[in-house]
Amino acid sequence: MLLQLLPVVIGDNPYDSIAEGPPRFSSRLHVPPSIRKPPWLLQRRQIQFELAAGSSVRSDFSFTDRLEESGIIFRNRITDDSGKRYLPVHYDLGCGLAAADIDGDSLPDLFLVNKSGGNKLWRNLGEGRFANWTTPELALADRISVSASFADIDNDGDPDLYVTAVRDGNVLFENDGRGGFTDIAIGSGIDYRGHPSAAVFFD
Ligand SMILES: [Ca+2]
Ligand SMILES: [Ca+2]
């Protein structure tokens, strides 16, 4: 079901009614009650609990928010025009996240893509702690980055990094095996310049 993205007139419950007449500008989104509180959700929850009880696959775990202890500091930032004109609309830039063990210590590291203000590489120190491993080259602060993907492009055992970006083209980084990256986009054949989305490697 598609979300209805018509603006609404603000009332006691602005999400339950749609304005008569032509749409007016509003930063609110109309979300039908059937989506906000779907009547089938609790029923499905109960069914899944019953199925899990009879399964041998471990399912009784949960997650705890440990962002603050992790050391990771990152905020998705949008461009000025997006904030002024397209605030209620999801857009396809700066929404990427890629994970790979960049330095061969068996701990997955994180690369976070930003629309504005630069990307970040966070090296996993273990026990839920991360260190900022970003270089100016990886930040690509002069571009609007879109997504990132890791793949070992040269079969030397370490994951290399491809970042798609609006403005000045996509970037291919070769990993030196210790988490150091060199831009080798020029001449690679995949230094596409345009309006890219996400990239996927496959053989
Ligand atoms: Ca690692
Ligand atoms: Ca490699």
CA 202, 95, 73 angle in degrees (round to 5)?
115
| Ligand (nearest to CA of 174) | 2
Specify the pLDDT at position 11.
Answer: 37
Q: Which residue has the higher pLDDT, 129 or 93?
A: 129
Q: How far is the CA of 115 from the centre of ligand 1 (A)?
A: 25
CA 31 remoteness from chain centre: 23
Question: What number is the average pLDDT over the span 174-199?
Answer: 94
Per-residue pLDDT at 190 exceeds 70: yes
| Ligand (nearest to CA of 106) | 1
Specify the pLDDT at position 135.
Answer: 97
- Band of pLDDT at residue 29, cut at 50, 70 and 90: confident
pLDDT tens profile 30-75: 788 788 888 889 999 999 999 999 999 888 889 999 999 999 999 8
Per-residue pLDDT at 8 exceeds 50: no
The C-alpha atoms of residue 116 and residue 111 are separated, in whole angstroms, by 15
| Ligand (nearest to CA of 126) | 1
Q: Which residue has the higher pLDDT, 157 or 11?
A: 157
Q: How far is the CA of 126 from the centre of ligand 1 (A)?
A: 9
- Band of pLDDT at residue 93, cut at 50, 70 and 90: low
Share of the chain above pLDDT 70, in %: 82
Q: How far is the CA of 109 from the centre of ligand 1 (A)?
A: 5
The C-alpha atoms of residue 124 and residue 102 are separated, in whole angstroms, by 9
Per-residue pLDDT at 196 exceeds 70: yes
Three-state SS for the chain is CCCCCCCCCCCCCCCCCCCCCCCCCCCCCCCCHHHHCCCCHHHHHHHHHHHHHCCCCCCCCCCCCCHHHHCCCCCCCCCHHHHHHCCCCCCCCCCCEEEECCCCCCCCEEEECCCCCCCEEEEEEECCEEEECCCHHHHCCCCEEEEEEEECCCCCCCCEEEEEEECCCCEEEEECCCCCEEECCCCCCCCCCCCCCCCCCCC
31, 32, 34, 8: which is closest to 19 by C-alpha? 8
Per-residue pLDDT at 154 exceeds 70: yes
pLDDT tens profile 99-140: 999 999 999 999 999 988 899 999 999 999 999 999 999 999
- pTM passes above 0.85: no
Specify the pLDDT at position 87.
Answer: 63
Specify the pLDDT at position 86.
Answer: 67
